[in-house]
């Protein structure tokens, strides 16, 4: 199984940028479809952006399109989330997740489909 640890969260002003990292250990990230989810206080966990096992395809929620970018570095066994033009509504705990899949091209947008989760990192955007 794979163990995931997020880092890079913090407090940033609206319009600013942050880069989150998700470091994997135990197994290579190339074996998994992966994604970022977030959960704001009092709300359900929601899909932010995901990447296929091959790394060739990504899909993001409409709310972050054009602002957030996901990348995966198989050599470092790490996934990144670059967040630009941050808004107060982006404030949440951000989680990375991994899903075992035989498909190299599919992206899963439902939290229930992911088996492995990090502990989360808090992102707070002030207005």
Beta-ladder partners of 79: 22, 72
What is the pLDDT confidence band of residue 124, given thresholds at 50, 70 and 90?
Answer: very high
> In the prediction, which pLDDT does 52 show?
94
What pLDDT sits at residue 123?
A: 98
The pLDDT, as a whole number, for residue 89 is 97
Separation of alpha carbons 79 and 70, rounded Å: 7
Question: Tens of pLDDT along 12-58?
Answer: 999 999 999 999 999 999 999 999 999 999 999 999 999 999 989 99
Two structure tokens written together for 27: 């197994």
Average pLDDT value for the chain: 96
Q: So what's the pLDDT on residue 107?
A: 94
Q: What is the mean pLDDT of residues 89-99?
A: 98
Query: pLDDT-based confidence at 92, cuts 50/70/90?
Result: very high
């Amino acid at each position: 199984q794979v163990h995931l640890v997020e880092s890079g969260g913090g407090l940033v002003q609206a319009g600013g940028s942050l880069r989150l990292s998700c470091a994997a250990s135990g197994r290579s990230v190339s074996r998994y479809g992966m994604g970022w989810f977030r959960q704001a206080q009092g709300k359900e966990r929601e899909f932010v952006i995901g990447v296929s096992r091959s790394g060739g395809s990504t899909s993001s929620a409409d709310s972050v399109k054009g602002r957030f970018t996901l990348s995966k570095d198989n050599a470092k066994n790490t996934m990144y989330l670059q967040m630009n033009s941050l808004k107060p509504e982006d404030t949440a705990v951000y989680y990375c997740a991994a899903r075992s899949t035989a498909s190299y091209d599919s992206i899963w947008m439902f939290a229930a489909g992911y088996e492995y989760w990090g502990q989360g990192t808090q992102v707070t955007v002030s207005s």
